[in-house]
Amino acid sequence: MPKVTKKTLNCRGRLVSLETPVVMGILNSTPDSFFAGSRISLEKTVDTAQKMLADGATFLDIGGYSTRPGAAEVSPDEESDRVLPVIEAILASFPDALLSVDTFRASVARQAVDAGAVLVNDVGGGTLDPAMFDTVATLGVPYVLMHMRGTPATMQSMTTYQNLVTDLLDELAVRLAALRALGQKDVLIDPGFGFAKTPEQNFFLLNQLDAFDLFDEPLLVGLSRKTTIWKTLKISADEALNGTTVLNTIALMKGASILRVHDVREAVEAIKLTQQLTFF
């Protein structure tokens, strides 16, 4: 299996090992996320978090802004109002839980970290809020640098590349250098499956995933129940768990360090089984 030089994340003084890949569970405090099963109400937050943690999630990723194509715009204040109570409720019941905030807004990231989040997951990779890089570097928490072009509303019209993998590497390298110049230490790379990429491009990207070893940074992969799976199989997102596990397994074989998923137990099982191959 491909190897990554960086093996730990410093989450506000707590070292998280990535020697063995880990799972990030998705909790969407939104009414319109593409997969209904990931949407939570504040009343169900603690029960959902408890199940994910019991199933083996290392991180819980809290989002208050749906980035699916055609999703409604949400103000920064509304996004914070969705995210912060969820963070507070989970930490009140599970003080040791490692929470990530899924946001492209620096103001929401800062408030979430102040509330107890230990990681910022930015689908915009710093392109949607010019204050994000300065903010996350100041906060001193790990940062997920994801590749995307345009905005959630325009990204699917921006899928033309000269060479998909080379273009992604070049674009991410510029952003990574900017983060390093600000003193950001822990960075995870997310190739951005489904963001400014067609289903065919997503499969090509997955097959070439080990090219991202170039960065010597941990890879976060988010393929869970995405359009690439269910449109290819001519099913619905609700039926895409098996397809998700297949693609997650391939991602693990090609070096993924974190799987961001809706279904934690199945992802943990995929990790346990693929890890057995390292003994041979």
Alpha-carbon distance of 55 to 59, in angstroms, equals 12
Q: Is residue 207 part of a domain?
A: yes
The per-residue pLDDT for 38 is 45
Q: Is residue 173 part of a domain?
A: yes
Alpha-carbon distance of 116 to 123, in angstroms, equals 20
Out of 82, 260, 265, 272, which one is annotated catalytic?
Answer: 260
Q: What are phi and psi for residue 8, nearest 5 degrees?
A: -140, 155
pLDDT tens track for 251-278: 999 999 999 999 999 999 999 999 999 7
Alpha-carbon distance of 24 to 37, in angstroms, equals 16
Rounded to a whole number of angstroms, the distance between the first and last alpha carbons of the chain is 11
Number of domains in the chain: 1
110 is annotated as an active-site residue: no
Out of 82, 226, 234, 254, which one is annotated catalytic?
Answer: 226
14 is annotated as an active-site residue: no
Q: Is residue 6 part of a domain?
A: no
Domain residues for 92?
20-279
pLDDT tens track for 68-106: 655 567 899 999 999 999 999 999 999 999 999 999 999
Which of 45-49, 186-190, 208-212 is predicted with the least confidence, judged by mean pLDDT?
45-49
User: Does this model's pTM top 0.95?
Assistant: no
- 193's tokens: 């499956």
Domain of residue 261, CATH code: 3.20.20.20
Q: Is residue 255 part of a domain?
A: yes
